[in-house]
């Protein structure tokens, strides 16, 4: 046998071994999602509970700094509408940036996608959520998930005074089937009194001709971020967008496959701030985080996931929440990729 034959033979053996190994690994990591239960979630929660020690509760908004860093909750809403909750499931926290996907749905429903995205981009970013990005160059926000784009999105919702906020609240109550949802006035006042950076973005966009109204529109943004929710509410939001805007109980009032694709695409590329690219690689699911400690996740066509743990990593995402999601995704092979 010549050297070339030996090389070809060895190469063939290596390829066969590689394929065999991959088949075994894939078989080991794939599990039937119908087996997800509270026991499953509880096991994952307990495994990742201590990750809060690697994060820090947001305190740039004083009221948020009062949250219990040890609080943790995990919720899943499956395709049949069945809800599984573990941890501090009754614990309320403010929705913060997760409200941006609700505002985007309303703005696009009213104004049309082309009109909304004529004023901002579809781009991802390597900058923090409150970065001015290219407001001083192109004059337009990079995307509707960063603060600048989200402030602009809310301003595009029609109605005077607090009408745009009330529309967001109404849709949140519908999606979660929870009419008790409301904003926390203390957090709202705290955000309003310290939100100078957001105020700067507002006036820079007003100067650029993107916003024509007054600061009432910015107040609506502060209010939408201050709405209190639970991990279960977030799981229901994730389910809604994962299933063509159909509610977890099957109510199809807002069914819209294109809207679902738009929202999930923005969640995937920009929903986890500057960590979004790495998150797409590790978790691989449309997700949106908030500095209140929550993350909502859409598993397209399958389920919604909601997590809560207020200690944030350096990107502003829940440290324990991320690891709970990652473990569930690995165990049930949920990544889109």
Instruction: Report helix angle 147-156 to 196-207, nearest 10.
Output: 60
Task: Tell me the backbone φ, ψ of residue 223, rounded to 5 degrees.
Answer: -70, -45
Distances (CA, A) of 310 to 57, 63, 104, 108, 329: 6, 12, 24, 30, 21
- Which helix (H) or strand (E) covers residue 264, if one does? helix 257-270
Give me the half-sphere count of Cα atoms (radius 13 Å) on the Cβ side of residue 95: 30
162 belongs to an annotated ligand binding site: no
234 burial via Cβ count (<10 Å: 0-12, 13-18, 19+) = buried
Say if residues 293 and 318 touch (Cβ distance below 8 Å).
yes
Say if residues 102 and 183 touch (Cβ distance below 8 Å).
no
184 belongs to an annotated ligand binding site: no
332 belongs to an annotated ligand binding site: no
228 belongs to an annotated ligand binding site: no
80 belongs to an annotated ligand binding site: no
174 belongs to an annotated ligand binding site: no
Say if residues 314 and 11 touch (Cβ distance below 8 Å).
no
Pair of tokens at residue 268: 């995937």
**272-302 burial: b if 16+ Cβ within 10 Å, else e:** bbbbbeebbeebebbbbbbbbbbbbbbbbeb
Task: Tell me the backbone φ, ψ of residue 198, rounded to 5 degrees.
Answer: -65, -35
191 belongs to an annotated ligand binding site: yes
Q: Please give the annotated binding residues for substrate, written as ranges.
A: 97, 147, 191, 198, 221, 273, 291
- Binding-site residues, in ranges, read 97, 147, 191, 198, 221, 273, 291
């Amino acid at each position: 046998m010549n050297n070339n034959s030996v090389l070809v033979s060895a190469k063939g053996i290596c390829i066969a071994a590689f394929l065999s190994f991959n088949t075994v690994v894939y078989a080991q990591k794939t599990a039937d999602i119908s087996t997800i239960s509270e026991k499953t979630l509880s096991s994952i929660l307990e495994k990742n509970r201590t990750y809060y020690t690697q994060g820090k509760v947001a305190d740039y908004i004083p009221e948020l700094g009062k949250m219990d860093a040890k609080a943790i909750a995990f919720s899943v809403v499956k395709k049949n509408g069945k809800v599984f909750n573990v941890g501090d499931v009754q614990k309320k926290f403010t929705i913060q940036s997760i409200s941006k996907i609700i505002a985007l749905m309303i703005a696009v429903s009213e104004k049309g996608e082309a009109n909304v995205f004529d004023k901002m981009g579809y781009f991802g970013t390597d900058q923090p959520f409150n970065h001015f990005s290219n407001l001083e160059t192109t004059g337009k926000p990079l995307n509707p998930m960063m603060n600048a784009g989200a402030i602009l999105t809310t301003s595009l919702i029609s109605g005077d005074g607090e009408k745009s906020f009330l529309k967001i609240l109404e849709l949140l109550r519908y999606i979660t089937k929870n009419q008790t949802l409301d904003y926390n006035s203390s957090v709202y006042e705290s955000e309003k009194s310290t939100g100078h950076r957001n105020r700067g973005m507002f006036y820079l966009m007003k100067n650029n001709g993107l916003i024509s109204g007054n600061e009432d529109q910015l107040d609506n943004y502060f209010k939408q971020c201050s709405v209190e929710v639970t991990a279960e509410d977030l799981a229901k939001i994730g389910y809604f967008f994962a299933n063509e805007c159909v509610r977890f109980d099957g109510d199809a009032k807002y069914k819209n496959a294109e809207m679902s694709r738009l929202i999930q695409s923005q969640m995937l590329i920009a929903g986890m701030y500057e960590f979004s690219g790495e998150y797409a690689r590790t978790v691989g699911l449309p997700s949106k985080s908030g500095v209140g400690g929550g993350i909502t996740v859409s598993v397209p066509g399958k389920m919604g996931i909601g997590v809560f743990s207020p200690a944030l990593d350096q990107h502003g995402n829940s440290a324990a929440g991320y690891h709970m999601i990652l473990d569930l995704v690995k165990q049930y092979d949920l990544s889109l990729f």
